[in-house]
Amino acid sequence: MRSFIFEIRKYGFELLMDLHKFEGNPNVFFDPAPHTTNFFEIMVFEKASGTIELNGHVLEVAENSLFFICPFQ
């Protein structure tokens, strides 16, 4: 399973938050294989459709959807 680890010193100094936009490279983030993270994810979908599987539950993604995902889910 792919695992994303938060890098506190990614920019050369301690930073406890980061931001990414999917528009620039959606295939990197929306891989169909499951993944896990060691950080909280907040996902905002302005224009979207489809599903996300989270802990064995399939959740609908629609326009203006908002997801809060805990670490290691």
- pTM of the complete model: 0.73
Are 68 and 59 spatial neighbours (Cβ–Cβ below 8 Å)?
A: no
User: What percent of the chain clears pLDDT 90, i.e. is strictly above it?
Assistant: 41
How do residues 6-34 score in pLDDT, each as one tens digit?
999 999 999 888 887 777 666 666 677 88
Q: Domain range holding 12? A: 2-69
**Dihedral, 11, 42, 53, 4 alpha carbons, nearest 10:** 10
Q: Which of 3, 2, 6, 1 is nearest to 39 (CA)?
A: 6
Name the domain count of the chain: 1
Are 59 and 44 spatial neighbours (Cβ–Cβ below 8 Å)?
A: no
| Average pLDDT, integer, range 50-67 | 92
Are 30 and 22 spatial neighbours (Cβ–Cβ below 8 Å)?
A: yes
